[in-house]
Amino acid sequence: MKKRIYLLYGGKSAEHEVSIRTAFSVICALDFTKYEVTPVYITKDGNWMKRDVLKEPPKTMDELERQLNRDVNGLIEIMRDIAQAKENGEQLPILFPLLHGTNGEDGTVQGLFEILNIPFVGNGVLASAAGMDKVIMKNLFAQAGLPQVKYVSFNRFEWEKNEDGAYDEVEKKIGYPCFVKPANLGSSVGISKCQSREQLQKAFREAFQFDRKIIIEQGVEAREIEIGLLGNESPECSVAGEIIPKAEFYDYKAKYEDGNTALVIPADIPNETYERVKEIALKAFKVLDCSGLVRADFFLTKNGEVLINEINTMPGFTPVSMYPLLWKHTGIDYPELIDKLIEFGCEQYREKE
Ligand code: ATP
Ligand code: MG
Ligand code: MG
Ligand code: MG
C-alpha cells in the first residue's frame, strides 16, 4: 500500500512564495509509485485548502495552483480523514510541513499535529518554538556552554520606557559593530548592522516593527559556515558549507534577489574546524531537543574560533537551498533526503506511542 502524505505549504508568513516553490520541487521529487500525495495549500490569511490526491506530479507551478479547490475547508477535512483512518485501523497519513516562519516553523502548527496525534516530518513543538526565538535559543546555548557572540535583549515596553538607557546598555555591554534583529524571524528580515548610536536608534525602530522583542549581538568579522543535521536520537552531519555574501552581510536581498552569493560546498576549512562545527551542532541539536532536520549556522573568526550563530528548524528546502545541497555533497540526493525525512517522522511518532 502507498504511504499517504499531506504536504503543507504556503502559510501565513513572509516566506509564503518560497514555500510554494519548495512544495513544487518536493512534489516533483516524490516517487508516486510509493506515495499518495495530497497537497494542502495554506493561504496568506491562514486558510487551509486541501486538494484532491495528485494522480501525477504537476508539470508547472501554475498547474499546481490551478488545481486548487478554493471552497474546501481543508483543516476540517484532514481531521475527518484522520479520524476515519483511526476508526478503520488504517495506516495513518504523515503530515509534511514545508512552511517557514510564523505558524510554520515556530511550534504552533506542530502543536496542532500533536493534538491530532499523527506522524509529521521535522521538529516538534519545543524545538521549533525555541529555535524560532533567538533570545530563548541563545539563553539555552549559553546554559549549555556553547560558544557564541555576546548579546542583550529588550522588549518594546522596556525600550519605550527608557530609550537612551537601552542604547547606553548596548554600548556598554556590546559596543560597535553590532547586529540588531527581531527575536522571531528568519531570512534576515528586519536585521541591521550598526556602527554608531544613530544607526542603533534606527535599527531598534526597524526591528521593533517586526516583533515586540529584539536581540542585539556583537558583530564579528568572520566566515560563515553552515552544516546540516538529519535524524532523531543520533543525527548524522553533512559536510560543511560556506556562504560568501557579496553584500555587507547575508541580508534578505542577498538571499533571494541578487543570486550573487556564493555557496562553497564543501567549505574549505581544516578538518579540526569541521570536527568542532560538528561537535557544537550536535550539542545544539540535543540542547533544543530537535528531531528530523536542522541547519546550524556558524561564524568562524580570524583566529579559528567557531561560534554558533543559530539553528534553523525548517531551513530553506528548494533543490538549490543550502540544506539539500549540503546533503547532495554528502551523498544523499534530493529525493532520498525527502524519503529519509518521512521515515524519521514516522520513527519519531512510533517512539512516542
Ligand atoms: P536565516 O534564518 O535565513 O539563516 P536569520 O534571519 O535567522 O537568517 P541570522 O542568520 O541571525 O538571521 O543573520 C543573518 C545574517 O546576518 C548572517 O548570515 C550574517 O551574514 C549576518 N550576521 C548576523 N549576526 C551577525 C553577527 N553577530 N556578526 C556578524 N554577522 C552577523
Ligand atoms: Mg534563522
Ligand atoms: Mg529561517
Ligand atoms: Mg542564519
Which ligand 1 atom sits nearest the alpha carbon of residue 185? 6
Highest mean pLDDT among 18-22, 47-51, 209-213: 209-213
Taking residues 107-125, what's their average pLDDT?
95
d(C-alpha 288, C-alpha 307), whole Å: 17
> Using one digit for the tens of pLDDT, what is the confidence trace for 71-95?
567 888 888 988 999 999 998 999 9
Task: Report the 10 Å Cβ neighbour count for 300.
Answer: 22
Q: Which ligand is nearest to the CA of 176?
A: 1
Rounded to an integer, what is the distance from CA 79 to the centroid of its chain?
Answer: 26
Which ligand 1 atom sits nearest the alpha carbon of residue 222? 29
Is 221-352 a CATH 3.40.640.10 domain?
no
The three cell numbers of residue 76 are 476540517
How remote is the CA of residue 347 from the centroid of ligand 2, in Å? 26
How remote is the CA of residue 314 from the centroid of ligand 3, in Å? 7
Report the complex ipTM.
0.96
Q: Which ligand is nearest to the CA of 255?
A: 1
pLDDT value at position 246?
79
Rounded to an integer, what is the distance from CA 317 to the centroid of its chain?
Answer: 9
Residue nearest atom 27 of ligand 1, based on CA coordinates? 219
How remote is the CA of residue 188 from the centroid of ligand 1, in Å? 6
**What's 150-218's CATH class?**
alpha beta
Q: What is the CATH number of domain 3-120?
A: 3.40.50.20
> Using one digit for the tens of pLDDT, what is the confidence trace for 263-284?
999 999 999 999 999 999 999 9
Hey, where are the domains in the chain?
Answer: 3-120, 150-218, 221-352
Which ligand 1 atom sits nearest the alpha carbon of residue 149? 27
> Using one digit for the tens of pLDDT, what is the confidence trace for 302-311?
999 999 999 9
How remote is the CA of residue 245 from the centroid of ligand 3, in Å? 17
